[in-house]
Copies of this chain bind each other. A is one copy, B any other.
Amino acid sequence: MTKPRYTDLVLSLPATVPFVGPETQERARGAAFAARLGANESVFGPSPQAVAAIAKSASEAWMYGDPEVWELREAIATHHGVRAANVVVGEGIDGLLGYLVRLLIGPGDAVVTSDGAYPTFNYHVAGFGGALHKVPYRGDHEDPEALLAKAREVDAKLVYVANPDNPMGSWHDAATVQAMIDALPEGCVLALDEAYADTAPANAIPPLDMTHPRVIRLRTFSKAYGLAGLRVGYALAEPDFIAAFNRIRHHFGLGRVAQAGALAALADQDHLQATVARIAAARDKIAAIARDNGLTPLPSATNFVTVDCGRDGAFARAVLAGLVGQGVFVRMPFTAPQDRCIRISAGTDADLALLAKALPRALAEAGSR
């Protein structure tokens, strides 16, 4: 019997995934990781109020979530001083990026990103047949001028930039990002991924101007808020742009439990600030551990530290393998020359003690290959 008749686009797609999960690695190695420092989750956990709200909502889990996500959108709007009409909530930034690409990109449409930036964005662009154009990082930073120059050159409908950046942890100041917004070519949308806004210096985040018709800001509860396991992200933009998501989004995609947890987390800004302080302290500890081992921690505005291993990608991959082999889950940039680095998420003191113990051996083994 014949196979399903997949679209030509689907037939052209590789059966790869943007990220292999730590659970997959755990199943392969037959043991759980002792320290989970690879996915930029928040080991410091969500607000106790969010934990309580999730537990409370469990008995209400027989009801679908509000498809308008009204209460959470209102709360997000109040929190940021914008209107609910400026807010769309979705299944994490990943889900929202998928919708955004689908709104704008058909086969052959030009999209610009940095070479080595977020793989899941690239996955979505490929998934809708977009033509992805990449520009290099510049000194471990995404390069706004090069991104815009490429966008003009290829008449891009969409350009992606993360500030602060993943996987490098670097950031631009608000003036630089605002200059990028101001110079955005006509007809080009800027997807400004601010997943790490909560851990960034205040002067890295430009004002939330909701009047520009082609700038969309992406935020998440998966990082500093510690709710990756609920999958709630949101985007902020001009109301017409936000309304366009209603044409294609999965209206009942955000469950009642997830909405309740995110709402409680947003209300507990004390916990967020305490977490941000713990993240900052953990960054300092990771940096110290790196230096103690002769490596160079890069400055970070995120909940992770990217550590320059000082040699090539093969060496860094060997260091990473040595850490993973000792039960310390970390990841690394995929693309040269950033792949000379490994990326270590903020951890508890116990996590970082394991890192400190495992790193010398990983380096020794990598160096003696």
Of B10, B105, B213, which is within 8 A of A103 by CB? B10
B3 A62 Cβ-Cβ under 8 A: no
A229 B189 Cβ-Cβ under 8 A: no
Q: How far is the CB of A100 from chain B (nearest CB, A)?
A: 9
Query: Could you tell me the distance between the alpha carbons of A42 and B21 in the complex, rounded to whole angstroms?
Result: 33
- The interface residues of chain B lying within 8 Å CB-to-CB of A248 are 10, 13, 127
Contact A46 B61, CB 8 Å, known A91-B250, A244-B4: yes
A51 B59 Cβ-Cβ under 8 A: yes
Q: Pull 14 A–B residue pairs with CB atoms less than 8 Å apart, ordered by A.
A: A2-B213, A4-B103, A5-B104, A7-B105, A7-B109, A42-B62, A54-B257, A55-B58, A64-B231, A65-B229, A228-B255, A229-B256, A231-B252, A257-B261
Instruction: Give A267-280 as 1s and 0s: 1 = Cβ < 8 Å from B's Cβ atoms.
Output: 00000000000000
A157 B5 Cβ-Cβ under 8 A: yes
- Decide yes or no whether A222 CB sits under 8 A from chain B: yes
B62 A46 Cβ-Cβ under 8 A: yes
Query: Could you tell me the distance between the alpha carbons of A234 and B68 in the complex, rounded to whole angstroms?
Result: 24
Tell me how many residues of A have a C-beta within 8 Å of chain B. 91
- The interface residues of chain B lying within 8 Å CB-to-CB of A20 are 67
- The interface residues of chain B lying within 8 Å CB-to-CB of A230 are 61, 255, 257
- Decide yes or no whether A94 CB sits under 8 A from chain B: yes
A residues neighboring B (CB under 8 Å): 1-10, 13-15, 17-21, 23-24, 27, 36, 39, 41-46, 50-52, 54-55, 57-68, 70, 91-92, 94-95, 98, 102-106, 109, 120, 127, 157, 186-187, 189, 212-214, 222, 226-231, 240-241, 243-244, 246-248, 250-258, 261
- The interface residues of chain B lying within 8 Å CB-to-CB of A42 are 62
Query: Could you tell me the distance between the alpha carbons of A66 and B52 in the complex, rounded to whole angstroms?
Result: 23
- The interface residues of chain B lying within 8 Å CB-to-CB of A63 are 36, 39, 41, 228-229
Q: How far is the CB of A227 from chain B (nearest CB, A)?
A: 5
- Smallest CB-CB separation from A214: which chain B residue? B4
Query: Could you tell me the distance between the alpha carbons of A257 and B256 in the complex, rounded to whole angstroms?
Result: 12
B17 A189 Cβ-Cβ under 8 A: no
6 nearest CB pairs, A to B: A229-B256, A55-B55, A54-B58, A61-B229, A23-B66, A62-B226
Q: How far is the CB of A225 from chain B (nearest CB, A)?
A: 9
Contact A227 B17, CB 8 Å, known A55-B54, A240-B3, A252-B92: no
- Smallest CB-CB separation from A100: which chain B residue? B4
- The interface residues of chain B lying within 8 Å CB-to-CB of A43 are 62
Contact A228 B91, CB 8 Å, known A7-B103, A240-B3, A247-B13: no
Contact A27 B94, CB 8 Å, known A44-B62, A231-B255: no
- The interface residues of chain B lying within 8 Å CB-to-CB of A62 are 41-46, 226-229
